[in-house]
Structure 1
Amino acid sequence: MKKLTFWGRDEKDERLLVECMLGLKTATCTPKVWCSSSEDVGEVGDEIQVFTKLGQLACKILITEVYDIKFGDIKGEIGEKIARGENSTLDEYIKDHIFSWEKDLLNDGIILDENTLIVVEHFKLIESYIDYNSLGHKVKVF
């Protein structure tokens, strides 16, 4: 079974995991260049174990949709769908992902721009194994 740990601003930031466990976060995405094998991208029907940053199994999700999109094409109806899945507004989604990807991509010699290909995975929560309250994060709902 595939495994996943959500990104965070630091090693204690479990906000995205909490949003997932609350059913608010129903999508995740990553630059395609960081997906080096089929293990890095889910397929529709895949069940994925999601772990805390400390390595504790937190929940299991089911991939419901997967597609590639250029970063510059994340706008309009499809952009709103992705942003909603990320429990965000479209403007915040764009700003947050520039913040979380730009520096690391540049370290890899890649410039994040409108042509950067992104892999988007939509999912639904299947099962939780821990109490999300134990992760200590408050979330906002969009």
Structure 2
Amino acid sequence: MQRLKRMQFWGRDAEDDDLLLQALNGTKTATADLGRNWHIPNGEFDDGGYVAGDLVEVYDRRGRLRCHIRVTEVYETTFGCIPDKLWREEACTSAEDFRRGHRVSWSDEALTDETRIIGCHFELVKVEG
């Protein structure tokens, strides 16, 4: 049997699970990544390349399975044109708040308004014990 895809939400450091906790409490129902990185796995518990319909296991920063999500929508946009639904479902207060937070998360990137971003929306399916 083929295993499910895996994902981790990356925070400020290796111990930061704040974004996962937001997903578990329903505040966060979207995530984003740089377009050029979308299909690249980001660690042992992250496969990348998610598409609508995928059932995905979500792991915390210590490698423990915490929940399952179903990807509902994936699309490309740009850093200068963040759709309302993306910043809202990323638990941000505005598109500028989204950009501020991701400038910190992607601090090693030369972000411009034209930088390609992939938005990924999901629904929480099951919380693991």
Q: TM-score range by the shorter chain?
A: 0.7 to 0.9
Extract structure 1 runs of 4+ deviating beyond 2 A.
35-39
- 1:49 equivalent to 2:57? Answer yes
Matched AA of 2:111:
L
- Structure 2: runs of 5 or more not aligned: 42-46
Map of 2:17 onto structure 1: 14
Map of 2:105 onto structure 1: 100
Q: Distance in 2 between matches of 1:35 and 1:66?
A: 10
What TM-score does the superposition give when structure 1 sets the normalisation length?
A: 0.79
> Counterparts of 1:1-142 in structure 2 under 5 Å?
1-36=4-39, 39-74=47-82, 78=83, 80-90=84-94, 91-103=96-108, 105=109, 111-130=110-129
Q: Give 3-state SS (helix, strand or coil) of 1:99's partner.
A: helix
Which stretch has the larger CA shift, 83-92 or 53-62?
A: 83-92
Matched AA of 1:57:
L
Q: Give 3-state SS (helix, strand or coil) of 2:80's partner.
A: helix
Share of identical aligned residues, percent? 34
Which one scores higher on RCO, CA 8 angstroms, separation ≥ 6? 1
Query: What RMSD over aligned residues (CA atoms) do the two structures have, in Å?
Result: 1.5
What TM-score does the superposition give when structure 2 sets the normalisation length?
A: 0.87
Which stretch has the larger CA shift, 93-102 or 51-60?
A: 93-102
Deviations 1:95-129 (A, max 9, x none): 001111131x3xxxxx2111110011000000000
- Structure 1: runs of 5 or more not aligned: 106-110, 131-142
Matched AA of 1:81:
K
Aligned residues: 120
Bigger share in helix: 1
Preserved contact between residue 77 and residue 117 of structure 2 (Cα < 8 Å): yes
Deviations 1:57-95 (A, max 9, x none): 000000001100011111xxx2x2111111111132110
For the pair shown, the structure with the greater C-alpha radius of gyration is 1
